[in-house]
Structure formats: structure tokens, C-alpha cells
Structure 1
Amino acid sequence: MNLNTLHLFVAIVQTGSLSKASERTGVPIATISRQIAELEKHLQIQLFDRQKSGVKPTMAGQKLYDEVHLSIDNLLNAKQVLFDDEQNLKGILRISAPSKCEPVLAWVSEFGQKFPNVQIHATMTERILDLSADSIDVAFRIGELHGEHFIAKKVATLGTKWVAHPELLARFGTPNTLKELKNFPIATWAKNGENEVVIQMNKEKIALPIAFASNDAYAVEYMIVQGLYIGQMSAVTADEWIAKKRLVEILPKLEKPDYELFMLYASQRYPSAIVRAFVEFVMDQAT
């Protein structure tokens, strides 16, 4: 199976059209079309459904993409970095992290300055990702994770604080115990369909009704800063708003749980040079 043809096949799936794949690879559309036709003939299976808006992989095409695209990307990265020294590292690094995850953004910023020829694309989301299907090289997620197809390494411990807008406290009063939080509108991160959140502080646990929920930390932060709800934020973000006198810490004497941040990447024996450099960089910064 021709590697150049597989490279073109991967480009078509990722861009959704032959013309965009042609722009990305610099290969004429006619050549791409001919090579894909030859690949389909060789495999004796249809790889794409042709549509007016472009092309979409068939079920068989998607399976082939899942199997080969990381290997093709690694080969392309290897071609770019082979015989180059570390400072000339070139290629694309695709990461994912929760929104407003400042430790990760700081690492990415420093890595980008150290390796200016590496293009970095960051997908900021809390949703669960398939590293292969979503074309993510390195992901950062909160909470201990295990899996057969990825390696997870702890890189940080994130503290939290409960905060509220002074005007909201003027309306509702200031809670002094965990149980008193039941009298306040709570904003929190939650999955769709969840209607309560379990809070634990000082070994005391309580289930609280959720007034506003989102799968995006920034949305929760926005609602709290507007004075509509109280809720929990990362200590770093909370301290910024407290310093601006926009928020006040509540229940400061209660012990808040910490959350562990993990770095995930595919469990390949030979990761790409860029992924290997980034993983080593983060681990150096985290220790």
C-alpha cells in the first residue's frame, strides 16, 4: 500500500474535500482522485461517499482512517525532524485541555517560545475525547484516568475556592456551614441531565440542587461573577476576581478538595518527536 496515497487519503478525511486536500498537500486534484480510485480498487472497497458539499468516509473508510492516520502523521513528523536538532523541531502539535486551564496554557506558551517552528492547535473542552478519532496528540483532563490505549501522567494538583458576588451575599446572607449552601443558587460544572452536585468539605458530604449547570468552566465563572449564583472555582481564577473585589471567598475555613490534572497521550512505543518533546517538557515543568 503506497504511503503517499495513504497520506492523501488522510488529508481528504481531515479536510472533507478533494480540493481542500489538494490545497493542503500541493497535489493536483486529478492526481488525488486517480490515486484514491486505485486505492479503492486495490482494497476492493469504497472508501468515500461523494456528496455535493464534499466527500465523507464510508464506514470502511472511517475504519481505515482510524487505523492509519496517527501513523501517517508520525511519519510526516519524522520526515520533518529527521536529522534536525531539537531547536529546529517542526510540525503540528494538537492538544486538548479544559477551558481556562491556566497551567496548561502556561506550558503551551513556554513550549511555543522554545520551539517556534511547532504550530500548536489547542481544543479547549471538558468533553471526553477519543484521541485517535479527534486527532489529539496530548490531552489534559481532571481526575484519575486509566486505559489500554493511552498513557496518563499526573502533572498538577489544582486547588479550589467557593466564591460569591458581594451583592448576592447582601441578598441571601453569608453561609457559615456546608448545609447552609442549600439556601443559595448553585452554579457548577455538570453533565447534561444532572440536577444535583455532591459537595464534600471537612469530611462532611452533602448533595445540593443545581440552579445553573454547564460543561464549560468559563460559563460557570461568568454566572458567578455576574452575581447570579455562588459556586466553586479554581483557586487561581478565584484569587484574580477576589483581588479585583468582584468576588468574595465563602466558607474559607472549610477544607476544599483538590483535583488532580493528568496528561494523556497514545500508548505508542514510538511517539512522534514533537509529542515526545512536549511530554518531556511538561514533565520537567511539573516536577
Structure 2
Amino acid sequence: MNLNALSLFVAVIQHGSLSKTAEKLGVPIATISRQIAELEKHLQIQLFDRQKSGVKPTMAGQKLYDEVHLSIDNLLNAKQVLFDDEQNLKGILRISAPPKCEPVLAWVSEFQQKFPNVQIHATMTERIFDLSADSIDVAFRIGELHGEHFIAKKVATLGTKWVAHPELLTRFGTPSTLKELKNFPIATWAKNGESEVVIQMNKEKIALPFLFASNDASAVEYMVLQGQAIGQISDLTANEWIKDKRVVEILPELAKPNYELFMLYASQRYPSAIVRVFVEFVLGKIQAT
């Protein structure tokens, strides 16, 4: 049985009409009428006599009300208690995310506006954590990850652009093909020990030696902004710098790969209230977009 329809049924009897119920609950009359009709169809009984002055429960409707209204009221009260508990959420949430990961920072900012008593400590790094050993409640990482001890949820797709400082292009010229990047100094993300990076645009791949590499995206961005090298940086940063004419986009006609951002949290059966509410908040934000 639809509990939402049942609670609307109880509310209609308590308020005496569909219009008053709609006004009190902020639910359209058409929605209330449809839910009541579906409840009647499910139960195969008529619950209301429709009158000009409003609605009056039938004998069957009155009997159903007598049986369920206290339980429905208790459920609504319990829901309000849980809501109040969430509003009073208090404690510390420890998260980790890649440096300058603006989507995560935007979620954190909005979350703290809603729950001002929650303190958040953010470790901004791309290093892979052991969530338990490093005391991290929720981590955000680029690339799909799997493990027995954590849950991974995709929360965003991040785009990139290849850009260069105008002065660098004055010195070296502007590349017109992917292969011509071999003639330019490259700044890129790479792991320690790697000596080249594999670049893919459209269906073409090329391995390039680099001038500068780091496991920190902000270090790559610094070298690009200093005119030291061409680099691949996030759309969020690139769009801002291009607009300000600090950099120029390179090879804009070629499709660049996107990178998926995942939210990771421990797979324990009963997470803390703060972790649960934060995870639900982020998932709600991405479902709304």
C-alpha cells in the first residue's frame, strides 16, 4: 500500500477538503485527487463521498481512518524527529580530493551552509589513501577504483583542454597536429619513474617526452602559466584562463578524453550520521543535474 497516498487520505479527513489539504501541505489538488483515486482502486472501495462543501468519508473510509491515522501521525512525527536530528548534525568530516577539485569544494561549501555545525577537514592530494589508516571519511579520486573495503560512486565527469602561454607560442609557433607536439616542451601529470606520457585525442595516440611532470595538477598549471610548457589542464581552470587571455587553447578541434571522478567511502554497514548525510547530499546533487 502506498504510504504517501495513505498519509494524504488521513490529511484530507483531518482538514475536511482537498483544497485545505493542498494549502496546508503545499501539494497540488490534482496530485492529492490522483493519489486518493489510486488508493481507492488498490483497496477496491470508495473512501469519500464528494460534496459541494468538501468531502466526507464513507463508512469504509471512516473505518480505515480509525485504523491508520495514529500510525500515520507517528510516522510523520518520527520523520520530523529524524529531520531535526540532521539539521542539528554536529562533528568533524574528513575528506580528501585532488588539488583544486572545484566540484568537490562547491559541494562542501553548500553542505556546510546547510549543516553549519559540521567541521570539515579537506586533504587536497591525488595520493591514494587507506581510508581507515589515514582517518579519511570520504575521498574523491579520478579514475574508476574497486575494492572490498570501500564503495565507489561516480559523481562527475571532468573535461580537459591543452593550453599554452601566448609568449611560448611566439617562441615555438602553434602546433596544428598532434604529432607536432613532439617539437614543444610539455608539462604533464605523471608518476615517478615515467619518462614520457601517452596523449590521446580523437582516436590518435602519441607518446611524448616531457619537460616537466608532477603528480600534482597545480604544479603543471604553474609551469603552463609561467610560459615554460604546453600542458593539459582541467576545463574549469582552462576556461577561466582563456577568458582572461592568460593562455591560448591548443588543438581545439581535437576531442580530448574525459576523466571520471569517483566518491569513495568505507563499505561498513552502519556509517556515521555525518558520513551518511554527506554521501546522500552529494548523490542528491548529482541526480539533480
Matched pairs, number: 207
Deviation readout 1:85-136 (Å, 9 max, x if unpaired) = 2110001000000000000000001001110000000000001111011100
Instruction: State the 4+ residue runs in structure 1 displaced beyond 6 angstroms.
Output: none
1:33-112 aligned at under 5 Å gives the runs 85-112=85-112
Distance 1:250 1:83 in 2: 50
- 1:119 equivalent to 2:115? Answer no
Map of 1:219 onto structure 2 = 219
Map of 1:232 onto structure 2 = 232
Q: Which runs of 5+ in 1 are unaligned?
A: 1-80
Distance 1:274 1:237 in 2: 31
1:159-170 aligned at under 5 Å gives the runs 159-170=159-170
Q: Which runs of 5+ in 2 are unaligned?
A: 1-80
Task: State the identity %.
Answer: 86
Map of 1:181 onto structure 2 = 181
Distance 1:173 1:110 in 2: 44
Letter in 2 for 1:182: K
From the CA coordinates, give the structure whose radius of gyration is larger. Answer: 2
Letter in 1 for 2:208: L
1:83 Cα offset (Å) = 9.8
The DSSP-based 3-state class of the residue aligned with 2:175 is: coil
Length-normalised TM-score, structure 2: 0.70
Map of 2:171 onto structure 1 = 171
CA RMSD of aligned residues (A): 1.4
Map of 2:278 onto structure 1 = 278
The DSSP-based 3-state class of the residue aligned with 1:254 is: coil
Map of 2:253 onto structure 1 = 253
Map of 1:24 onto structure 2 = none
Letter in 1 for 2:167: E
Letter in 2 for 1:233: I
Distance 2:111 2:195 in 1: 40
Length-normalised TM-score, structure 1: 0.71
The DSSP-based 3-state class of the residue aligned with 1:85 is: helix
1:189 Cα offset (Å) = 1.0
